Structures are given as structure tokens and as C-alpha cells.
Amino acid sequence: MAVLPIVIAPLPVLSARAREIQPHEFGPELATLASDMAETMYAAPGVGLAAPQVNDGRRLIVIDSSSGDERGTRLFRMANPSITARGDETIEWQETCLSVPEIEVWVTRAKHITVNWQDPATGEAMTEDFEEYEAVIVQHELDHLEGTVLLDRVSSFKRGRWVRKMKKVRQAIPAK
């Protein structure tokens, strides 16, 4: 497995709607990408990662809400995920994002969701109910597949301040 570079906003791949994974794409190569994405997520460290965040414009996400010694016990690799049901109750969560470092945003999400997806290796259809924290993670990653990042949920003032800060950080990094 490999740790992939995570792209930082603003970048076109992060603002574009990810494309469906086609039947011929399922198999070992897509399974390896999902495993690499999981390794990247753990190394970051994070609890979710979408393919656009590693500069791949396909509908693929990984999530894992477990931590510590239990890490990996709630790992889901989802190709073409979609929410098929949402509960009426909502939850507000302070979210962060690996592609938008150093920013936290309060977001209101459905507290309960049902998600359908396909296994990256086989294309087999899967379904699962997610609640609270896991539901928040899945919804955050699905936002990435729709071209939405946390910066899209803040005021233009806060967005501008973050963009200026990141420009300064990038300018301070020596060129290779």
C-alpha cells in the first residue's frame, strides 16, 4: 500500500462532480486505490477520504470511525456511494477536512442515513445504515464527490482569509 498526496483547496478536481465508476473499472486496480486511500487517511490522520482529495475524479470514498487499537474495524471502501434514506433528525458537528487544513466549520447533517455502494474489488452491491458520527463522516465525503468542500460552507470573508493564509504557507515552502 502507498500513502498518496492529498490535494489542498482550491483545486479544480475538488470543485468538480466526481464521475461514476464504470463496470469495467471494478477489480484489483480499484481495490488497490481504495486501500491506498485508506492508508493515506490513516497517515494524515483522518477518518474519511474521497478520491478527488487524491486527485482522482471518480466516485470512491473510504471511511473509518474506529480509533486506537480498534482502527480498521469500521473501515468501509465505497464505490459509487449514494444516500438512499435520511432520517428526519439532524445533528450539528464541527467538521475539519484534510483538503482544507486549519479550518473548522459547524455543519448540520442528517443523524441517520442509509447508504448503497459497490465493493471496489468486485462491484458487489452493499448497503448499510450509519448513525451520528459515522453518518457525518459519510455525508462529508459524499460532499467531496459532489464538488463541495468546507470552504463552500463559510462566509466569503472567512474563505478569503483562509485562501490568503494558504498562499503565504505555499510561498514559504521552498521549491524542489
* pTM beyond cutoff 0.75: yes
Residues with a catalytic annotation lie at 141
C-alpha grid cell, residue 56? 482522482
CA dist., res. 20 & res. 49, Å (int): 17
Closest CA to 76 of 86, 87, 65: 65
Helices (H), the chain: 12-15, 28-43, 132-145, 156-172
Q: How crowded is residue 140: how many other Cβ atoms within 10 Å of its Cβ?
A: 23
Contact 119, 77 (CB under 8 A): yes
Tens-digit pLDDT string for the chain (176 aa):
799 999 998 889 999 999 999 999 999 999 999 999 999 999 999 999 999 999 999 999 999 999 877 887 899 999 999 999 999 999 999 999 999 998 999 999 999 999 999 999 999 999 999 999 999 999 999 999 999 999 999 888 888 888 888 777 766 665 55
